[in-house]
Amino acid sequence: MSRLAVLGAGAWGTALAASFAGRHEVALWGRDAEHQAAMAAARENTGLLPGIALPDSVSVETLVEVALADADLVIVATPVAGLRASLREVARLAPQAPVLWACKGLEAGSGRLPHQVAAEVLAPGQERGALTGPSFAQEVALGLPTALTLAGYSPAGDSLEFARHWVAALHHPRLRIYASDDIIGAEVGGAVKNVLAIAAGACDGLGFGHNARAALITRGLAEITRFGQALGGRAETFTGLTGMGDLILTCTGDLSRNRRVGLELAHGKSLAQILQELGHVAEGVPTAREVATRAAALGVDMPITAAVDAVIRGELSARDAVEQLMTRVPKTEA
């Protein structure tokens, strides 16, 4: 049994804490002290995961110093926007502890992937990695079967061995985890699929049918692969859980926040109204701009991503964007 510190008490952080509590002692910390106190009293995250009780081995902490004390592993489960600040706390209070992050996206403004943010903040030799894959927080919290990928990076050692060590420690019969050392590929798949899910939601919201959605998902996977390989990821990663698996789930699942953004855009709602009603972070919204910018700089063709970015920025309607994609000049499939 290890002591885990989970930073971020949103739906995903709460779900991971509950899932890992069967084998480990877990400290769950969030920045909102009032929210933490309410969760500690109710023994559940009533706002985001109502009706799902926290196991006894999960302690709800209001002080990050307490959560990180003697941690054998730190899991950062904030949105990408909170990753840098959370890693700074780890660097200050637990510089020897290995770190995993469970966020998916590119940092707004810098366009950096999470491992690039970590390289700027963590100690040079601190082991780290990404925990990612097709997963809705609610289903993980309920103990429904889920498969994830742990992509490790060990600056001074064997990245795959680091990943395998924590896979063995964290997996259980309802949460199967696979080890990888392609951290770039794993992060790119998790980031770009959120952008494509907005497009898929718009396609569904406009009533374009299953054929169009299948075409969009397939061509979206080609975009993910081109972009990921340009950044140094491996092609085979994008046909696995963190690529195709996460893409299919997020583009088709009713629990997908990003798909819901696309659905509501297709119904004519403004982005501001959609995000207010959503009440959760939809990572595909800020990530679209960052991916489109990096893709253009790399000379990578990503028409679906560019269309989503144009819709988010108000340059195209959802209908015009999808119709433009479907009427592009025919070309060889690649």
> Exposed, middle or buried by CB within 10 Å (0-12, 13-18, 19+), for 247?
buried
**What is the full DSSP assignment across 21-82?**
TTTSEEEEE-S-HHHHHHHHHHTB-TTTSTT-BPPTTEEEES-HHHHHTT-SEEEE-S-GGG
- Tokens representing 178 are 């696979």
Q: Could you give the CA distance from residue 24 to residue 42 in angstroms, rounded to a whole number?
A: 21
What is the side-by-side order of every strand in the sheet holding 25-29?
58-61, 25-29, 3-7, 73-76, 99-101, 128-132, 146-153, 175-180
Rounded to whole angstroms, what are the CA distances from 140 to 176, 192, 204? 11, 22, 26
- Tokens representing 145 are 């079967």
**182: nearest Cα among 239, 245, 223:** 239
- DSSP letter (8 states) at residue 242: I
Q: Could you give the CA distance from residue 90 to residue 107 in angstroms, rounded to a whole number?
A: 18
43: left (phi over 0), alpha (psi -120 to 50) or beta: left
Q: 132, 103 in Cβ contact below 8 A? A: no
Which residues, in sequence order, are CB contacts of 283 under 8 Å at separation 6+?
79, 80, 103, 104, 105, 191, 194, 258
Token pair 């985890």 is found at 177
Can you give the length of the chain in residues?
334
Q: Is 193 a catalytic residue?
A: yes
Which amino acid belongs to residue 310?
A
Residues annotated as catalytic (active site), given as ranges: 193
